[in-house]
Structure 1
Amino acid sequence: MFFIMFVLSLIFTGVSCSKDDMTSFNVVDFGAVDGGKTDSSQAFLEAWMAACNGEIAHVTSQVIVPEKMSFLVNPVTFSGPCKVKNINFLVFGTIIAPDSPSNWDEQDASEWVVFKTVSRLMVGGLGTIDGRGKGWWDQSCRGNPESKGCTKLAPTALKFLSCNDSSLRNIFITNSPQTHVLLHWSYGFVIDYVNIQSPESSPNTDGIHIHASHHLAITNSRIGSGDDCISVGDYVSYLDIVNIYCGPGHGISIGSLGSSGNVVQVENIRVINAILNRTTNGARIKTWQMGRGHVRGVTFENMRFISVKYPIIIDQNYCDIRGKCKELDTGVQISQVLYRGMYGTSFTDAAIVLNCSRVVPCYGISMEYIRLTPAITERRVTAECGNAYGQEFEVEPGPCLVQIKDGYKGAKSMAASPNISK
C-alpha cells in the first residue's frame, strides 16, 4: 500500500489551503442555466478559464457546479496547463449530456467532457455526471452489426488526457454512451470512491479504461456496466486496483492487447480485494495472436466470485469473431502471474481456463488457495489449461498447470477452442 499512499501525498500536497488561498468560480455566475434544457457549455468554459488562469500562482482555484441544480453541457474540453498550482472541478449538482447523437455532428464523436494537459487536478464533489447514452446504444453496431446506419464510435463521459498527479473521486457517473472514464497518457492518477452505473445491456460501456499511463490507483469503487468494469490497455504499468465491487459487467480485464500486431508492454498490475457479482468474466487477461511484447508481473489476490460465468481466464488466442481467427506463430508473452485467495461460485463448468499460445506459452503462473464451486449444485466445475506453466498449491478445481520442471514437452494447444472470454 506504500505506492497508494505515495500517490495520495503527491496529489494533496499543497491542496489543503486557507480560505485566503482558495478562489472559487461558480458556473452560475458565468451564465449557466439550471434545468438541463439550456446549453451551459460556454459558461462552464468561462468559469474554467477564470479558475485555470488565476493570477496568484500558489493558490487553489475551484470551479463549482452547485448542488440541487442540473446543467446541460454539450461536448467541451477543459484545457491546461493552468497558472494556479492546484485546480478543483467540484460537481455538487448534475451535469447532463445532450440526449441525441445529432448534437455531435461535425464534432469528435468520441468525446463529451474532456480534461487535457492539466496537472494537480481534482474532479469530484458527490454530484452526478449523466451521459444519457440510450440514443447511442440504440444505434450501436455492437447490437446491430448488420445495420447500415449503425455507429461504432460513441462519446466517453469523462476523458483525461495527459493529466498528471491528479484525481477523480466521490462522483456518480451514469449512462455513458460508451466508456465512462478514459485515462490516457497520465502519471500519478488516483480514482477513488467512484460509483459508475449503466444497464447490463448497454454496449461497450466499460467503467474505467486505462491506456499508456503509469503509477496509478483505482480504489474503493463500485462499477456496474455493459462491458468491463475496469479494462487495462497497452503501455500501462504500476497500477493498483483495490477494493472494487464489480457487477454487472464483463469483469476486470487486462486487454485485449496486440490487435494491430503492435509491441505490448504491460507490467506490475495488482488487483486486490474485489467482489465480482454475476459478471461474464472475473480476472481476465486477453491478447491477440498477432501481438508481440509482454504482460508480466500481474497479481490477482483476495477476489470473491458470485455466480460468475468464467472466474479465471487467460486467453492468448483472443478473437472478436468466434472461430474466425487462425493460429499464428506470434503472440504476446504472459508471465509472472499470481492468483491467490480466489473463491466463490462459477455459473459455468469452466471455472479456470488458461488458453495460452503454443508458440509463446504462459510461464511463471502461480495459483495459491483457490476454491471455486458450481453456482448450480447439480453441476461440476473444471480447470482447463493449455501451454500454461507454473505451480499450484491448494487449488480447486485442479490440477491444471504444467509444472515448470516438466518443461514444455507435451503441452496441448487450445487455440481452436471456443472463445468463451469475449
Structure 2
Amino acid sequence: MDLEVSKVAVFAMYILFFALFPLNDACPRANPKSSSLNVLDFGAKADGETESSQAFSKAWDAACKTTNGIPSIMIPRGDFLVNQIILGTILAPASPSAWKVEYSPKWLTFENVNGLNIMGPGGINGQGKGWWDQSCRDHPGLALSLASCMDCSISRIHSTNSPQIHILILDSNRTKIDHVTITAPESSPNTDGIHIQSSHDITITGSTIGSGDDCVSVGDYNSDIHISDINCGPGHGISIGSLGKDGNVADVKNIFVRDVRLNGTTNGARIKTWQGGKGTVRDVIYERLKFTNVKNPIIIDQNYCDQAAPCKEQSTGVQISDVTFRDFYGTSATDMAISLICSRAVACTGIKLESINLTSAKTRRSVFSNCINAHGTIVGHVEPRECLKK
C-alpha cells in the first residue's frame, strides 16, 4: 500500500493500524501496475470543516479491492478534518521496481502536518529484502517519515523490514515516539530504527528496536532530544552522527539518552564525526545504560571514515564537548570497552566518565580503554581504568 500525504494541514487526524489481520489477508492483492485513488473522489472535502473520515475509509477499501494495479491513495493539498480510521497492516511493494519513478524513495510520508497521531496496535511491513539484495546507495528507501511536522506522535506500531530507515523524523518539532517495536535482520543494510534530522524537542521512549544499523541515530542540526527506556539489539547502538561529512558544519546539542539496554550490538553509546568537518556537538548525557556482549560499549570516533581507502588526516574537525557517560555496567564483547579517539587537531573536551563498571563477556579476559586527545574528568569508580587527559 502506497500512501503519500503532501503539504496537508490536518485539524484532527487519528490513524489506528489494526493488527489482527495483515493487509494481504484483509483484501485482495493488486496486480503489479500502478493505480491511484484520490480521496476527493470519495467525498472528502478540503475545507477544514467537513468530516471526511468515511471518505478516507472508502478510499482505503477501494484500494484494497482494486484489481488493475498497485494502489496508492492520494491526498491533495488542503485542510481535511479526519477522525479515527481503522486500517489493516500496511504492506509495501516487495520490489523496488514497483515504485513509481516520479516519486521520491519514501513510502509513507506525512509532510507539513500538525497534531497528527499515528497509533496502533498495528503494523507496517516494508518487505525490504528486495532492496537489501541491491546496492543501498542506488536504491534508498524509507518506510515512515514525518517531515516539517509539529506536535505529532507515533505510538504502539510495529515496523518490520524497512528498505532502509524505518522511521524518519525530519525538520520537525515537539514530536513523540513511544512504545514502538522495530525489527529487521542484523544483516540488513542501513535499516536504522529511528533517525532524527534537523529537529527539536523530540522524545523517544518505551520502545524495542532491533535492526541492521543504529537503533536510534541522531543526525545534524538537532537539539533537545530525549531518548529513554529502549531495548536495543541487534544493531549499532544509540549513535550521534555521523556528522561533518564533506566539510559540513555540525550543530547538535542537548541530547539525553537514559535507561537503555543493549544486547549484542556493535556499539553502545557512540558519537561519530568526519575529519574535515566543522561545528559542534555539545551537552550530551548518556546515563544508566546496561550492556550485554556489546562490541564497543563507549566510543567517540572523531576520525570516522566510511570508505575502503584510508581517509586523509585533516586540520579541522567537529568540536565535541561536555559529554557525560554515567552509570554504565555490563559486558564487552571485545577487549576495548572504552574508545575515545579524538582528532589530533581538535580535541574532545569536557568528557566525564562517572560510575562505570564494564567487564569482559569472555571468561578470564580483561578489558581496556584507549584515548587520543580526549580531555575530561573521572567521578567515582571507573572500570576499565580511564585514559582521559585533564
TM-score range (shorter-chain normalised) is 0.7 to 0.9
The answer as to 2:376 corresponding to 1:397 is no
1:82 matched to 2:74? The reply is: no
In the TM superposition, residue 71 of structure 1 has moved relative to its aligned partner by 5.1
Query: Aligned match of 1:328 in 292, 311, 314?
Result: 314
3-state secondary structure, aligned to 1:227: coil
Q: Secondary structure at the match of 1:336?
A: strand
After TM superposition, the structure 1 stretch with the greater mean CA deviation from structure 2, 97-106 or 231-240, is 97-106
The one-letter code of the counterpart of 2:79 is C
Given residue 401 of structure 1, which amino acid in structure 2 is its aligned partner?
L
Aligned position for 1:319: 305
Tell me the distance in 1 between the aligned counterparts of 2:77 and 2:267: 38
* Paired residue type of 1:266: V
Instruction: Please tell me whether the aligned partners of residues 361 and 388 of structure 1 are also in contact (alpha carbons under 8 angstroms).
Output: yes
Shift of the 286–54 alpha-carbon distance from structure 1 to 2, 3 Å rule, reads same
Q: Which runs of 5+ in 2 are unaligned?
A: 1-10
Match of 1:190 in 2: 176
On the 8 A contact 1:384/1:400 being kept in 2, the answer is yes
Greater displacement, 251-260 / 317-326:
317-326
Partner of 2:367: 381
Post-superposition Cα deviations, 1:175-229, rounded to whole Å, max 9, x if no partner, equal: 1011101111101110111111011111110000010010110011110111111
Equivalent position amino acid for 2:29 in 1: K
For 2:237, the equivalent position in structure 1 comes to 251
User: Following superposition of structure 1 onto structure 2, how do residues 49-128 of structure 1 map, counting pairs within 5 Å?
Assistant: 50=44, 53-55=47-49, 82-84=79-81, 92-128=87-123
Contact 2:195/2:216 (<8 A) preserved: yes
5+ unaligned residues in a row in structure 1: which ranges? 1-13, 16-21, 142-150, 404-422
**CA offsets, 1:335-359, max 9 Å, x none?**
0101111110000011000000111
Q: Of the candidates 122, 132, 138, which is equivalent to residue 137 of structure 1?
A: 132
Q: Distance in 2 between matches of 1:90 and 1:37?
A: 21
1:284 aligns with 270
Query: CA 1:257–1:26 in structure 2 vs 1: closer, same or farther (change >3 Å)?
Result: closer
> CA separation of 1:347/1:61 partners in 2, compared to 1, >3 Å: closer, same or farther?
same
Q: Tell me if the contact between 1:295 and 1:332 (Cα under 8 Å) persists in the aligned partners.
A: yes
Partner Cα separation in structure 2 for residue 178 and residue 380 of structure 1: 37
For 2:232 and 2:333, how far apart are their aligned partners in 1? 16
Task: Look up the equivalent residue of 2:221 and give its one-letter code.
Answer: Y
Q: CA deviation at 1:91?
A: 5.5
1:24–1:351: structure 2 CA closer, same or farther, 3 Å change rule? closer
For the 8 Å contact 1:179–1:206, the answer to whether it is kept is yes
Match for residue 30 of structure 2? 38
1:96-128: CA deviations, max 9, x gaps? 011111112413352111111111001122111
User: Structure 1's 323 and 370: CA in aligned 2 closer, same or farther, altered over 3 A?
Assistant: farther
Q: What RMSD over aligned residues (CA atoms) do the two structures have, in Å?
A: 3.2
Residue 321 of structure 1 and its aligned partner are, at CA, apart by 2.3
Query: 2:365 aligned with 1:370, yes or no?
Result: no
Flag the 1:36–1:229 CA change in 2: closer, same or farther, 3 A: farther
The answer to whether the Cα contact below 8 Å between 1:390 and 1:401 also exists between their aligned partners in 2 is yes
Q: Per-residue deviation at 1:37? A: 1.0
Higher relative contact order (CA 8 A, sep 6+): 2
Q: Distance in 2 between matches of 1:245 and 1:392?
A: 27
- Counterpart position of 1:235: 221
SS in 1 for 2:27: coil
Cα deviation, residue 64, structure 1: 5.8
CA 1:51 to 1:328, structure 2 compared with 1: closer, same or farther past 3 Å? farther
What is the CA–CA distance in structure 2 between the aligned matches of 1:65 and 1:382, rounded to whole Å? 61
CA distance in 2, matches of 1:95, 1:173: 10
For the Cα contact (< 8 Å) 2:17–2:121, is it kept in 1?
no
Structure 1 counterpart of 2:248: 262
Shift of 1:305: 0.6
Counterpart in 1 of 2:155?
Answer: 169
Residue 353 (1) aligns with residue 339 (2)? yes
How far off is 1:160 after superposition? 1.0
Superposition deviation, residue 260 in structure 1: 2.1
Q: Distance in 2 between matches of 1:369 and 1:338?
A: 11
Rounded to whole Å, the distance in 2 between the matches of 1:109 and 1:379 is 50
Q: Secondary structure at the match of 1:260?
A: helix
Q: Is the 8 A contact 2:17 2:87 kept in 1?
A: no
Q: Which amino acid aligns with 1:314?
A: I
Greater displacement, 389-398 / 320-329: 320-329
Whether the 8 Å CA contact 2:42–2:58 is kept in 1: the answer is no
Q: Partners of 1:132 and 1:314 in 2: how far apart?
A: 34
* Alpha-carbon distance in 1 for matches of 2:158, 2:16: 22
Per the TM alignment, residue 55 of structure 1 is displaced from its structure 2 partner at its CA by: 1.5
* More off after superposition, 380-389 vs 47-56: 47-56
Following TM superposition, by how much is the alpha carbon of 1:308 offset from its aligned partner in structure 2, in angstroms?
A: 0.4
Aligned residues: 365
